Homo-oligomer: A and B are copies of this chain.
Amino acid sequence: MVVTIKDVAKEAQVHMSTVSRAFSMPHRLRPETRIKVLEAARRLGYRPSRVARALTTGRTHNIGFIVADIANPFFPPMIKAAEHAARARDYHLFIADASEDPAIETELVGALAKQVDGVVLCAPRIANAKIERLSEDIPIALVNRKMAGVPSVTMDVVQGARTAIEHLLELGHRRLAYVAGPRQSWTNTQISRTVHSVAEDRASVTVLGPNTPNENAGFTVADAIARAGVTAVLAYNDLLAIGLMEGLHNLGVDVPGDVSVIGVDDTVLARLARPRLTTIVVPTADAGTSAVDLLLQYTASDDLAARTAGHVSLPTQLVVRDSTAPPPNSAS
């Protein structure tokens, strides 16, 4: 029913191995036989079986791509870019959604391991130690996490958070809050540290969290923010920030009149929200592309000892919109 290499061999009156070579090492064939084979293949509509090929070569030409939550608008552009990059190199992408759960995440790399050449973990929620262990079984590349010996791409959120806080300080804010994300998130740690170190003795900072990074959690935390007596807040991501803004609006707290809000990611939502959200732009698409590049580059060398784990750090920047303003009584 399906046409195999053997059919092509018969059609072209050569041996299977010659057909195989016509595809994988064309230059080792006499031009006329190569043409004869390719012609026969075309005639029969032959497509090599990637499965069979994978079995002998040990390379599936597939990549696993695990994200915390596909529905979080932070990820789709990254997935899209990664998928295109992979395809350009004749790779295909398995997508899996870990539902923000470390256990599922771990399980997923195990499940995928046998049918991919490597997996990229996006914003992983699992511990470094476990990643280390997993990466002994299968090449792993990380997005938004940094680990020695593991290829990774991070977004320089420290830089972004620094300018964000400086922005708030310049506006005159002295009582800040950080609405934290998931505890296991590397980005969360980075931002949190930066907020503290930049504010230092120039402003107080209250931390609220950890939170699941979605709008609901943001909405819920609004109450605590209102009571915390802060005039500005940086949220772990846009989703939390937007939920928070809704929550505050709901409580009659004006943004940015009473409280300024800054998000992170610059997802589509940020421009749309009212007030338009001041946020930190992160290059998600670039991250997706770089991640598959690094992974492929890492898996390229066959002897494991020689493997070199590249790292790339992507710049971020603050985009000021309408959700930030001077604190309430700064005019008085």
Q: Which residues of A contact B (CB under 8 A)?
A: 47-52, 54-55, 60, 62, 65, 69-71, 73, 75-77, 79-80, 83-84, 87, 92-97, 110-115, 242, 268-269, 272-274
Answer whether A114 and B50 are a contact pair too, CB < 8 Å, given A70-B79, A95-B79: yes
**Residues of the B chain whose Cβ atoms lie less than 8 Å from the Cβ of A95:** 65, 79, 83, 93-95
9 A-B pairs with the lowest CB-CB distances in the bound complex, closest first: A274-B274, A95-B95, A70-B80, A272-B272, A51-B54, A70-B76, A50-B115, A71-B76, A272-B273
Docked pose: A50 CA to B115 CA in angstroms: 7
**Residues of the B chain whose Cβ atoms lie less than 8 Å from the Cβ of A112:** 92
Docked pose: A111 CA to B47 CA in angstroms: 9
Jot down 9 A-B pairs with beta carbons below 8 A, ordered by A. Answer: A47-B113, A48-B114, A51-B54, A51-B55, A70-B80, A71-B80, A73-B73, A92-B115, A272-B273
Pick from B55, B73, B93: contact of A94, CB under 8 Å: B93
Docked pose: A69 CA to B111 CA in angstroms: 27
Whether the Cβ atoms of B83 and A97 lie closer than 8 Å is yes
Docked pose: A77 CA to B72 CA in angstroms: 9
Whether the Cβ atoms of A242 and B96 lie closer than 8 Å is no
**Residues of the B chain whose Cβ atoms lie less than 8 Å from the Cβ of A272:** 242, 269, 272-274
Docked pose: A83 CA to B111 CA in angstroms: 14
Least distance between A20 CB and chain B CB atoms (Å): 15
Least distance between A215 CB and chain B CB atoms (Å): 8
Whether the Cβ atoms of A73 and B274 lie closer than 8 Å is no
Known: A84-B97, A269-B272, A272-B273. 20 other contacts (CB 8 A): A49-B114, A50-B114, A50-B115, A51-B51, A51-B55, A51-B60, A70-B77, A70-B79, A71-B77, A73-B73, A73-B76, A80-B97, A92-B111, A92-B112, A92-B115, A94-B95, A95-B95, A242-B272, A272-B274, A274-B274
Docked pose: A55 CA to B54 CA in angstroms: 10
Whether the Cβ atoms of B80 and A110 lie closer than 8 Å is no
**Residues of the B chain whose Cβ atoms lie less than 8 Å from the Cβ of A70:** 76-77, 79-80, 83
**Residues of the B chain whose Cβ atoms lie less than 8 Å from the Cβ of A96:** 83, 87, 92-93
CB-nearest residue of chain B relative to A92? B94
Docked pose: A56 CA to B207 CA in angstroms: 56
Least distance between A134 CB and chain B CB atoms (Å): 13
Least distance between A65 CB and chain B CB atoms (Å): 8
Docked pose: A214 CA to B55 CA in angstroms: 42
CB-nearest residue of chain B relative to A277? B272
**Residues of the B chain whose Cβ atoms lie less than 8 Å from the Cβ of A48:** 114
Whether the Cβ atoms of A94 and B97 lie closer than 8 Å is no
Docked pose: A93 CA to B111 CA in angstroms: 12
Least distance between A257 CB and chain B CB atoms (Å): 17
Taking each of A75, A111, A112, A114, which has the highest tally of chain B beta carbons within 10 Å of its own beta carbon? A114
**Residues of the B chain whose Cβ atoms lie less than 8 Å from the Cβ of A47:** 110, 113-114
Docked pose: A115 CA to B47 CA in angstroms: 11
Docked pose: A69 CA to B110 CA in angstroms: 29
**Residues of the B chain whose Cβ atoms lie less than 8 Å from the Cβ of A92:** 94, 96, 111-112, 115
